[in-house]
Structure 1
């Protein structure tokens, strides 16, 4: 009889197509994954996976076995999950959360405050969003949930729920020598700007300006907004950022907040996840917790 743990290893390697990613999902070392995979190879008398430039690819036998193996393990895991109760007050679960800069500024403080009271032993690991990688990270288990503007990211395998609509605003230091009142479009374009890298999903501003046949002068490009406080307070740079983040800076820094002098469509911030079969109750609780906190922002 085949050890069920070997089947679990097989399924995760098949889905991730990468031994190291499978090890992370299984919380095992790479040698342990390889060892268990070799046991199954010996039992089935087939290599099951062959190396390629991206990781590993399944053999024909592996492709034929995966559907039945996957269905069987899913039924077993559902039965086990049904017999267990996730208790956030005592759980030591680690949740891997991908956040955009907006999430870091607006969601994270409220999330930590909530967890400290309602789930004091749960640990959160934050990863910076890369829009080109987020689907892969959710599917292979590197992330449990990702919160960001996914409007321009196609993720056919991912579940997504919009949590609020956002719009962009502009901030400048209160002592800015030229921007003390609502800037005109000409004034906005005349100034130098700090901007966030497009890989994080913030592309609306420059796309809209391009549509208008215009371009702003970006002097500083950053990976996220959360490091901007000292930059804004010590320079004449303008920063265009989501309204909720702008309001945070207005409360905590010497800045003025202005409407943009041109129209930009609002965007939706969403909670995104992949429907893994394992740990369903815990993941469902975490997603619902994030949605509830966002309602209060």
Structure 2
């Protein structure tokens, strides 16, 4: 601790002293400070004891500064106003000069479309800001937000009341495949679908995915992976199919245009993808800036589904 903090001086006494010096009156100072006259007099006595010298003398019906008081007042006045200004002024933050590092928790599906677009925005508007992207999913996002992540974009279950949430979008699912190797009819039947061989994404590291959970029927799973990021490469050139969110299929087809989609023969209601953040960052200018850009990108930068 700095030695200045350790000394036995209540800084509130200096404010009382400054107002008494400006008004020349205990009564007037008490009125301005919303204190009683005895409280102001007691504060002056405490400050006098701490300084070790008289600060005021009586002059008529008021008070005048002693030589020691004059020196204290002259030194104190500019600093006291600067402290008040610093405490009450609006914070100034500029994305153009900010060197802030923002920690984002992104699901694997979100990272595919959001992170490249967000980095392009930051390169234009906040070139010194940096992003740390951390993997999250619906089971881990609450712990990530509690451990220092500034914001997250993911599907989420129940969350603490201290977490703010804003729904970004809610999409369905389609069947994604390579039509050069997998021959799918335009209108799949349930039996067609379950006769195919599948690659699935399982965060549990098993052979169950969302279809098994919703339809309660097992697929012929040839491969289970932990992320959507590799699905395009796995489907390209194979007879496998994958059931993916519509926007993920659109993103994959941005670079693998020969892949195709088919509607599912049953309905799977997708959970909303949400922007999530700790309420403690509500007034953090850098976090608010990044959250605003994420909201903009969710409205404009999501890949648009292509016709199969």
For the Cα contact (< 8 Å) 1:149–1:270, is it kept in 2? yes
Aligned to 1:247: 250
Cα distance in structure 1, aligned partners of 2:88 and 2:263: 50
CA, structure 1 residues 190+93, in 2 after alignment: closer, same or farther (shift >3 Å)?
same
Aligned to 1:110: 117
For the Cα contact (< 8 Å) 2:137–2:155, is it kept in 1? no
Q: What whole-Å deviation, never above 9, does each CA across 1:232-278 have from its counterpart, x for those lacking one?
A: 10321111111111112223212111111111113211000112259
CA, structure 1 residues 291+81, in 2 after alignment: closer, same or farther (shift >3 Å)?
farther
Aligned to 1:35: none
Q: Which residue, 282, 285, 295 being the options, matches 1:281?
A: 285
Aligned to 2:97: 90
CA, structure 1 residues 260+194, in 2 after alignment: closer, same or farther (shift >3 Å)?
same
Matched, 1:145 2:151: yes
**1:83 Cα shift?**
4.1
| Structure 1 residue ranges without an equivalent (≥5) | 6-78
The equivalences for 1:4-153 within 5 A come to 83-141=90-148, 143-150=149-156, 152-153=157-158
CA, structure 1 residues 81+283, in 2 after alignment: closer, same or farther (shift >3 Å)?
farther
Cα distance in structure 2, aligned partners of 1:286 and 1:232: 34
CA, structure 1 residues 81+244, in 2 after alignment: closer, same or farther (shift >3 Å)?
farther
CA, structure 1 residues 286+147, in 2 after alignment: closer, same or farther (shift >3 Å)?
same
Q: Which residue, 161, 170, 173 being the options, matches 2:166?
A: 161
Aligned to 1:58: none
Q: Which residue, 182, 191, 210 being the options, matches 2:187?
A: 182
- Bigger radius of gyration among the two: 2
Matched, 1:294 2:298: yes
CA, structure 1 residues 194+286, in 2 after alignment: closer, same or farther (shift >3 Å)?
same
TM-score, normalising length: structure 1: 0.66
For the Cα contact (< 8 Å) 1:89–1:121, is it kept in 2? yes
Over 6 Å off, 4+ runs: none
Aligned to 1:196: 201
RCO greater where, 1 or 2, for CA within 8 Å and sep 6 or more? Answer: 1
Cα distance in structure 2, aligned partners of 1:255 and 1:183: 17
For the Cα contact (< 8 Å) 1:193–1:219, is it kept in 2? yes
Q: What whole-Å deviation, never above 9, does each CA across 1:133-170 have from its counterpart, x for those lacking one?
A: 221221221x11110111x3444431110011211111
